[in-house]
Protein backbone atom coordinates (compact mmCIF):
# COMPACT_ATOMS: atom_id res chain seq x y z
CA UNK A 1 0.00 0.00 0.00
CA UNK A 2 1.27 3.46 -0.96
CA UNK A 3 0.70 6.32 1.49
CA UNK A 4 0.40 9.79 -0.01
CA UNK A 5 0.21 12.80 2.31
CA UNK A 6 0.91 15.76 -0.01
CA UNK A 7 -1.37 17.18 -2.68
CA UNK A 8 1.82 18.04 -4.60
CA UNK A 9 2.51 14.33 -5.14
CA UNK A 10 2.49 13.67 -8.94
CA UNK A 11 0.39 10.52 -8.60
CA UNK A 12 -2.20 12.34 -6.49
CA UNK A 13 -2.38 15.12 -9.08
CA UNK A 14 -3.21 12.60 -11.82
CA UNK A 15 -5.89 10.92 -9.71
CA UNK A 16 -7.41 14.27 -8.79
CA UNK A 17 -7.54 15.30 -12.44
CA UNK A 18 -9.32 12.06 -13.33
CA UNK A 19 -11.69 12.39 -10.38
CA UNK A 20 -12.60 16.05 -10.94
CA UNK A 21 -12.45 16.51 -14.71
CA UNK A 22 -14.73 14.44 -16.91
CA UNK A 23 -12.81 15.39 -20.05
CA UNK A 24 -9.48 14.27 -18.57
CA UNK A 25 -11.03 11.03 -17.35
CA UNK A 26 -12.59 10.24 -20.74
CA UNK A 27 -9.37 11.17 -22.56
CA UNK A 28 -7.52 8.62 -20.42
CA UNK A 29 -10.28 6.04 -20.95
CA UNK A 30 -10.79 5.78 -17.21
CA UNK A 31 -13.81 5.53 -14.96
CA UNK A 32 -14.17 6.42 -11.30
CA UNK A 33 -15.95 3.92 -9.04
CA UNK A 34 -17.18 5.42 -5.79
CA UNK A 35 -17.98 3.02 -2.98
CA UNK A 36 -17.81 -0.69 -2.28
CA UNK A 37 -21.04 -1.56 -4.14
CA UNK A 38 -19.80 -0.21 -7.49
CA UNK A 39 -16.36 -1.70 -7.00
CA UNK A 40 -17.87 -5.13 -6.37
CA UNK A 41 -20.28 -4.80 -9.32
CA UNK A 42 -17.37 -3.92 -11.60
CA UNK A 43 -15.06 -6.71 -10.47
CA UNK A 44 -17.91 -9.26 -10.57
CA UNK A 45 -18.33 -8.36 -14.24
CA UNK A 46 -14.63 -8.92 -14.92
CA UNK A 47 -13.48 -5.30 -14.83
CA UNK A 48 -9.85 -5.07 -13.72
CA UNK A 49 -9.18 -2.34 -11.19
CA UNK A 50 -6.05 -0.35 -11.91
CA UNK A 51 -5.95 1.69 -8.70
CA UNK A 52 -7.77 1.56 -5.37
CA UNK A 53 -7.85 4.65 -3.16
CA UNK A 54 -8.81 4.32 0.49
CA UNK A 55 -9.45 7.06 3.05
CA UNK A 56 -7.37 6.64 6.20
CA UNK A 57 -10.46 6.80 8.40
CA UNK A 58 -12.15 4.00 6.43
CA UNK A 59 -9.15 1.67 6.12
CA UNK A 60 -10.06 -0.65 8.98
CA UNK A 61 -13.64 -0.97 7.69
CA UNK A 62 -12.40 -2.31 4.36
CA UNK A 63 -9.41 -4.38 5.51
CA UNK A 64 -10.79 -7.74 4.31
CA UNK A 65 -11.81 -6.39 0.90
CA UNK A 66 -8.48 -4.67 0.40
CA UNK A 67 -6.63 -7.86 1.32
CA UNK A 68 -8.59 -9.74 -1.35
CA UNK A 69 -7.36 -7.20 -3.92
CA UNK A 70 -3.79 -7.04 -2.70
CA UNK A 71 -2.37 -7.26 -6.23
CA UNK A 72 -3.97 -3.94 -7.19
CA UNK A 73 -2.15 -0.66 -6.65
CA UNK A 74 -3.66 0.73 -3.43
CA UNK A 75 -3.19 4.29 -2.23
CA UNK A 76 -3.91 5.43 1.32
CA UNK A 77 -4.91 9.07 1.65
CA UNK A 78 -5.56 11.24 4.70
CA UNK A 79 -9.17 12.39 4.95
CA UNK A 80 -8.42 15.90 3.66
CA UNK A 81 -6.88 14.59 0.42
CA UNK A 82 -9.49 11.87 -0.08
CA UNK A 83 -12.21 14.55 0.10
CA UNK A 84 -10.61 16.24 -2.93
CA UNK A 85 -11.22 13.10 -5.01
CA UNK A 86 -14.70 12.25 -3.73
CA UNK A 87 -17.69 13.18 -5.89
CA UNK A 88 -20.20 13.26 -3.02
CA UNK A 89 -20.65 15.40 0.08
CA UNK A 90 -20.35 12.30 2.27
CA UNK A 91 -17.33 10.37 0.94
CA UNK A 92 -17.64 6.59 0.89
CA UNK A 93 -14.03 6.10 1.95
CA UNK A 94 -13.23 3.83 -0.97
CA UNK A 95 -12.63 4.67 -4.64
CA UNK A 96 -11.41 2.73 -7.62
CA UNK A 97 -10.12 3.62 -11.08
CA UNK A 98 -10.48 1.25 -14.02
CA UNK A 99 -10.57 1.27 -17.81
CA UNK A 100 -13.95 1.97 -19.40
CA UNK A 101 -15.24 -1.41 -20.67
CA UNK A 102 -15.65 -1.73 -24.41
CA UNK A 103 -18.85 -3.36 -25.70
CA UNK A 104 -18.43 -7.09 -26.25
CA UNK A 105 -19.73 -6.89 -29.81
CA UNK A 106 -21.27 -4.64 -32.43
CA UNK A 107 -24.94 -4.01 -31.76
CA UNK A 108 -26.75 -6.84 -33.61
CA UNK A 109 -29.54 -5.75 -36.00
CA UNK A 110 -31.85 -8.42 -34.55
CA UNK A 111 -31.40 -7.97 -30.78
CA UNK A 112 -33.73 -6.36 -28.27
CA UNK A 113 -32.17 -2.98 -27.62
CA UNK A 114 -32.66 0.54 -26.30
CA UNK A 115 -31.76 3.61 -28.35
CA UNK A 116 -31.25 6.87 -26.47
CA UNK A 117 -31.52 10.13 -28.36
CA UNK A 118 -29.97 13.01 -26.47
CA UNK A 119 -30.74 11.90 -22.89
CA UNK A 120 -28.62 14.50 -21.14
CA UNK A 121 -29.26 14.12 -17.43
CA UNK A 122 -26.75 11.60 -16.01
CA UNK A 123 -29.09 10.62 -13.17
CA UNK A 124 -31.92 9.86 -15.59
CA UNK A 125 -29.49 8.03 -17.85
CA UNK A 126 -28.13 5.85 -15.07
CA UNK A 127 -31.63 5.03 -13.83
CA UNK A 128 -32.72 4.14 -17.34
CA UNK A 129 -29.73 1.83 -17.81
CA UNK A 130 -30.53 0.11 -14.52
CA UNK A 131 -34.12 -0.36 -15.70
CA UNK A 132 -33.00 -1.78 -19.05
CA UNK A 133 -30.68 -4.27 -17.35
CA UNK A 134 -33.46 -5.33 -14.98
CA UNK A 135 -35.76 -5.91 -17.96
CA UNK A 136 -33.21 -8.15 -19.65
CA UNK A 137 -32.01 -5.70 -22.30
CA UNK A 138 -28.28 -5.83 -23.03
CA UNK A 139 -27.71 -3.65 -26.09
CA UNK A 140 -27.78 0.12 -25.46
CA UNK A 141 -27.04 2.64 -28.20
CA UNK A 142 -26.45 6.31 -27.31
CA UNK A 143 -26.48 9.26 -29.67
CA UNK A 144 -23.56 11.73 -29.46
CA UNK A 145 -25.75 14.20 -27.54
CA UNK A 146 -26.30 11.83 -24.59
CA UNK A 147 -24.68 12.25 -21.20
CA UNK A 148 -21.69 10.08 -20.37
CA UNK A 149 -23.01 6.75 -19.05
CA UNK A 150 -19.67 6.16 -17.28
CA UNK A 151 -19.69 9.43 -15.31
CA UNK A 152 -19.72 9.08 -11.51
CA UNK A 153 -23.31 10.39 -11.27
CA UNK A 154 -24.59 8.01 -13.96
CA UNK A 155 -22.74 5.10 -12.36
CA UNK A 156 -24.28 5.86 -8.96
CA UNK A 157 -27.77 6.05 -10.49
CA UNK A 158 -27.15 2.83 -12.44
CA UNK A 159 -25.91 1.00 -9.33
CA UNK A 160 -23.58 -1.13 -11.43
CA UNK A 161 -26.03 -1.86 -14.25
CA UNK A 162 -23.55 -0.49 -16.77
CA UNK A 163 -21.34 -3.53 -16.25
CA UNK A 164 -24.17 -5.84 -17.34
CA UNK A 165 -24.76 -4.00 -20.61
CA UNK A 166 -23.14 -3.54 -24.00
CA UNK A 167 -23.05 0.26 -24.17
CA UNK A 168 -22.37 1.72 -27.62
CA UNK A 169 -21.37 5.39 -27.61
CA UNK A 170 -21.70 8.11 -30.27
CA UNK A 171 -24.00 6.01 -32.45
CA UNK A 172 -25.75 6.98 -35.66
CA UNK A 173 -29.16 5.85 -34.45
CA UNK A 174 -30.88 6.52 -37.77
CA UNK A 175 -28.40 4.32 -39.64
CA UNK A 176 -28.90 1.56 -37.09
CA UNK A 177 -32.69 1.73 -37.46
CA UNK A 178 -32.47 1.57 -41.25
CA UNK A 179 -30.76 -1.81 -40.99
CA UNK A 180 -32.69 -3.10 -37.98
CA UNK A 181 -34.58 -6.36 -38.51
CA UNK A 182 -37.26 -6.01 -35.84
CA UNK A 183 -39.94 -3.69 -34.53
CA UNK A 184 -38.78 -0.16 -33.65
CA UNK A 185 -40.87 1.78 -31.17
CA UNK A 186 -40.96 5.47 -30.26
CA UNK A 187 -43.17 6.86 -27.51
CA UNK A 188 -44.95 10.13 -28.32
CA UNK A 189 -47.41 12.07 -26.14
CA UNK A 190 -49.95 12.39 -28.97
CA UNK A 191 -49.59 8.98 -30.62
CA UNK A 192 -53.06 7.46 -31.10
CA UNK A 193 -51.98 3.91 -30.20
CA UNK A 194 -51.63 3.12 -26.49
CA UNK A 195 -48.64 1.16 -25.21
CA UNK A 196 -50.98 -1.10 -23.29
CA UNK A 197 -52.97 -2.39 -26.26
CA UNK A 198 -50.40 -2.14 -29.03
CA UNK A 199 -48.95 -5.26 -30.65
CA UNK A 200 -45.43 -5.87 -29.36
CA UNK A 201 -42.95 -8.32 -30.82
CA UNK A 202 -39.40 -9.56 -30.47
CA UNK A 203 -36.90 -8.27 -31.37
CA UNK A 204 -37.70 -4.65 -30.60
CA UNK A 205 -35.71 -1.43 -30.53
CA UNK A 206 -37.13 1.03 -28.01
CA UNK A 207 -36.34 4.68 -28.77
CA UNK A 208 -36.33 7.22 -25.94
CA UNK A 209 -35.54 10.89 -26.36
CA UNK A 210 -34.21 13.89 -24.53
CA UNK A 211 -36.06 15.08 -21.44
CA UNK A 212 -37.18 18.31 -23.13
CA UNK A 213 -37.40 17.66 -26.87
CA UNK A 214 -38.24 13.96 -26.92
CA UNK A 215 -37.28 11.72 -29.83
CA UNK A 216 -35.95 13.56 -32.89
CA UNK A 217 -38.08 13.75 -36.06
CA UNK A 218 -35.77 11.56 -38.17
CA UNK A 219 -35.99 8.73 -35.66
CA UNK A 220 -39.74 9.15 -35.31
CA UNK A 221 -40.09 8.79 -39.07
CA UNK A 222 -38.02 5.59 -39.00
CA UNK A 223 -39.92 4.02 -36.09
CA UNK A 224 -42.30 1.29 -37.22
CA UNK A 225 -44.51 1.84 -34.17
CA UNK A 226 -45.50 5.12 -32.48
CA UNK A 227 -47.05 4.65 -29.05
CA UNK A 228 -48.35 6.81 -26.23
CA UNK A 229 -48.45 6.11 -22.50
CA UNK A 230 -51.93 6.90 -21.15
CA UNK A 231 -51.78 9.59 -18.45
CA UNK A 232 -55.19 10.36 -16.96
CA UNK A 233 -53.65 12.81 -14.49
CA UNK A 234 -52.95 16.50 -15.17
CA UNK A 235 -49.31 15.98 -16.12
CA UNK A 236 -47.97 16.63 -19.60
CA UNK A 237 -45.12 14.15 -19.66
CA UNK A 238 -43.16 11.56 -17.73
CA UNK A 239 -39.53 11.51 -16.74
CA UNK A 240 -37.71 9.58 -19.48
CA UNK A 241 -36.52 6.91 -17.05
CA UNK A 242 -40.08 6.40 -15.79
CA UNK A 243 -41.39 6.16 -19.35
CA UNK A 244 -38.74 3.60 -20.22
CA UNK A 245 -39.61 1.53 -17.16
CA UNK A 246 -43.29 1.40 -18.16
CA UNK A 247 -42.44 0.39 -21.73
CA UNK A 248 -39.80 -2.22 -21.01
CA UNK A 249 -41.76 -3.87 -18.24
CA UNK A 250 -44.96 -3.90 -20.24
CA UNK A 251 -43.10 -6.20 -22.59
CA UNK A 252 -41.78 -8.25 -19.65
CA UNK A 253 -45.36 -8.53 -18.36
CA UNK A 254 -46.59 -9.85 -21.69
CA UNK A 255 -43.78 -12.40 -21.84
CA UNK A 256 -44.75 -13.60 -18.38
CA UNK A 257 -48.33 -14.03 -19.57
CA UNK A 258 -47.20 -15.87 -22.72
CA UNK A 259 -48.52 -13.09 -24.98
CA UNK A 260 -45.32 -12.63 -26.97
**pLDDT for residue 39:** 96
**pLDDT for residue 89:** 75
pLDDT tens-place string over residues 216-241: 999 999 999 999 999 888 887 789 99
Question: What is the average pLDDT score of the chain?
Answer: 94
**pLDDT for residue 210:** 84
Q: How confident is the model at residue 19 (pLDDT cuts 50, 70, 90)?
A: very high
**pLDDT for residue 2:** 94
pLDDT tens-place string over residues 39-61: 999 999 999 999 999 999 999 99
**pLDDT for residue 211:** 73
Answer yes or no: are the C-beta atoms of 121 and 86 closer than 8 Å: no
Q: How confident is the model at residue 106 (pLDDT cuts 50, 70, 90)?
A: very high
pTM of the full predicted structure?
0.92
Amino acid sequence: MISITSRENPRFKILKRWANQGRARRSAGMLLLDGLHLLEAATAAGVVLETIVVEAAAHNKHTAWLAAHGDTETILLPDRLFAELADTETPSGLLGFARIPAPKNEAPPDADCVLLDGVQDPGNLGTLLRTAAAAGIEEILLSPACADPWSPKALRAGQGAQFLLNIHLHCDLAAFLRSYHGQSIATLPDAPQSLFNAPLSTPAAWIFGAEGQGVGPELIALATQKLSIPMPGKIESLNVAAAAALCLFEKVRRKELGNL
